[in-house]
Structure 1
Amino acid sequence: MTTASFIPTTAQATAAGYYPPRRTVEVTGVRQLAQGVFRLTFRDAFIAEHAKPAQFVNLYSHNPLHMSPRPFGVADVHGDEVAVIFAVVGYGTDEFSRMQAGDRIDVLGPLGKSYDVGADAHYVLVGGGLGIPPLLRAAQVLSAREDATVTTVFGYRNEHFADEFVAPFADRALAIDESEGNVITLLERIEHELRTGQRPVTILSCGPLQMLKAVSSWAANRDIACQFSLEERMGCGYGTCVVCVVDTVDGRQKVCVDGPVFTPEQLGWTE
């Protein structure tokens, strides 16, 4: 007896709440942006169409001994091409940095919860270091909206590796490196403009934990709403391994599936 099988189309799977499984895609380019920092692009129509700001993708090493994927926030999308930006910190990221156009790589995604960017607002995107890439996607999405304006506030250790990518999407792009100050330095410079603007202000932020807590405190003292995308070490990226748990007011939650986006109220940072 032959058993009939049904394979849903991408549209049908999406409507039903299902996403494509791990799959092999084509690398379209790898470019070094700064010392140890690279931008990798690959072709995947589903991720390109569905990736929301702060969502991430898993990339998998070709080495079978390295089973855990590496999660990277989607940086930007052009057509069916998806970009991620990462620093070389170990075997997997070193492997990815050495790839060339035409190579193949396994991906899974998009994963995680996104920033809520549905409101009419002036969005201030505050990023530090390798927390900047997910904010590039946020700027790209918001740039298509007539009811939103975007200011980016980026802090770098030294080289400004992402400024060229955000410039087409931001109404105003500010950046600073460690020799000049930090993101709080820039926020204080534009505080008057934020207070007197026509739209309510919402801060979207991603970066090191110490920076996020400083931004949370700065914003709380000025009654500005915030959303934070947390950077936590992940094992699987989809809620099975329980490596990326974080303490919240509702108990311990998984950054990969309950986040990576949380509000300061959820994190208990408002006290």
Structure 2
Amino acid sequence: MPTATFTPTADVVAEATQAGYFPGRHTVEITQVTQLTDGVYRLTFRDSYIAQHARPAQFVNLFSHDPLRLLPRPFGVSETNGDLVSIIFAVVGTGTDEFSHLTAGDSVDVLGPLGRPFNTKSPAHYILVGGGLGVPPLIYTAQRLRDDDQSCATAVFGYRNDHFADHYVSQYADTTVSIDEREGNVITLLDRMEANDELTRNGLEPVILSCGPLPMMKAVAKWASKRGIASQLSMEQRMGCGYGTCVVCVVDTVDGRKKVCSDGPVFTAQQLGWEA
């Protein structure tokens, strides 16, 4: 006999939030889905709890309407606006393809925010180094840093071709520089910043926050380590539950294997053993 699934309504989530509880999986309304470039979409949904509580590099799980696709898909929060939450994703399979065909007024089940965020508490010149679909969490990081009078942010983004996220991050970052594969990569841009004496800004020492393909982040971590610059890396890993139960998303660290979903997704270069 099939088991009934309880999906909290918006009112139930609001009551749980007011009582101080983390809301479980619940249904939200889609307000917009926009194609940014070939195969890349920006989806916005209404959820006051996630909008108020998400921190840079935290992610949300979205669930398919197909009961045969049991596992959710994790997406980093890319922006918030009032009670609206946006994510940016690429279509890489049937689950993400389903999300790309949602329209305003549709609904989707979500869970979040999840994961350990970037640490941006100390005043610094935060250099946000992203590649490809690693850039969305860094857009949100820039958004949160915009209101920090003691810090500043430079976005350094690398793309395969179309610079699809520059418009969004430029609303928040103090400076945005980007490059595609025809011109070089993010290390090219970091070398230029170093040559132009732009790593330190307003008397603030640099800290690198990075998200993107694994080879890129390893190269960024080693580049930073050689210069004595601290770096935090938001790992991209296949996940199951998203909160540390299924142990699908483990990654090797100097202290053994850690779960990206709950011990991360953010790790330091020292934790990952990625120092030069």
- Mark yes or no: TM-score above 0.5: yes
Deviations 1:141-181 (A, max 9, x none): 00011001110000000001101101110110000000000
Query: In the alignment, which residue of structure 1 is the partner of 2:246?
Result: 241
The alpha-carbon distance between structure 1 residues 196 and 170, as it changes in their structure 2 partners (threshold 3 A), is: closer
Supply the AA of the counterpart residue of 1:108: L
Supply the AA of the counterpart residue of 2:60: V
Query: In the alignment, which residue of structure 1 is the partner of 2:17?
Result: 10
1:94 to 79, 92, 97: 97
Query: In the alignment, which residue of structure 2 is the partner of 1:4?
Result: none
2:265 to 248, 260, 267: 260
In 2, Cα distance between the equivalents of 1:206 and 1:10?
Answer: 30
Query: In the alignment, which residue of structure 1 is the partner of 2:43?
Result: 40
Within a 5 Å distance, the mapping from 1:33-182 to structure 2 comes to 33-182=36-185
Deviations 1:203-251 (A, max 9, x none): 0000000000100111011100100000001111111111100011111
* Secondary structure at the counterpart of residue 261 of structure 2: helix
In 1, Cα distance between the equivalents of 2:236 and 2:263?
Answer: 13
In 1, Cα distance between the equivalents of 2:187 and 2:272?
Answer: 20
Superposed displacement of residue 193, structure 1: 1.6
Query: Structure 2: 5+ residue runs without aligned partners?
Result: 1-13
Question: Is the CA contact 2:16–2:22 (under 8 Å) kept in the aligned structure 1?
Answer: no
Query: In the alignment, which residue of structure 1 is the partner of 2:11?
Result: none
In 2, Cα distance between the equivalents of 1:117 and 1:30?
Answer: 30
In 2, Cα distance between the equivalents of 1:193 and 1:29?
Answer: 37
Query: Structure 1: 5+ residue runs without aligned partners?
Result: 1-6
In 1, Cα distance between the equivalents of 2:201 and 2:130?
Answer: 23
Query: In the alignment, which residue of structure 1 is the partner of 2:208?
Result: 203
The alpha-carbon distance between structure 1 residues 196 and 166, as it changes in their structure 2 partners (threshold 3 A), is: closer
Query: In the alignment, which residue of structure 2 is the partner of 1:3?
Result: none
In 2, Cα distance between the equivalents of 1:228 and 1:11?
Answer: 33
Superposed displacement of residue 195, structure 1: 4.6
Supply the AA of the counterpart residue of 2:164: F
Superposed displacement of residue 19, structure 1: 1.1
Superposed displacement of residue 8, structure 1: 5.9
The alpha-carbon distance between structure 1 residues 62 and 200, as it changes in their structure 2 partners (threshold 3 A), is: same
Runs of 4+ in 1 over 3 A off after TM superposition: none
* Secondary structure at the counterpart of residue 176 of structure 1: strand
In 2, Cα distance between the equivalents of 1:242 and 1:71?
Answer: 15
Aligned-residue sequence identity (percent) comes to 62
The alpha-carbon distance between structure 1 residues 113 and 244, as it changes in their structure 2 partners (threshold 3 A), is: same
Superposed displacement of residue 45, structure 1: 0.2
In 1, Cα distance between the equivalents of 2:57 and 2:26?
Answer: 21
Superposed displacement of residue 110, structure 1: 0.1
In 2, Cα distance between the equivalents of 1:31 and 1:149?
Answer: 29
Cα root mean square deviation, aligned: 1.2
* Secondary structure at the counterpart of residue 214 of structure 1: helix
Question: Is the CA contact 2:114–2:242 (under 8 Å) kept in the aligned structure 1?
Answer: yes
Superposed displacement of residue 197, structure 1: 5.2
Query: In the alignment, which residue of structure 1 is the partner of 2:29?
Result: 26
Q: How many pairs are equivalent?
A: 261
Supply the AA of the counterpart residue of 2:199: L
Deviations 1:62-101 (A, max 9, x none): 0000000000000000110000000000011000000000
1:214 to 219, 223, 242: 219
Q: What TM-score do the two structures reach when normalised by structure 2?
A: 0.92
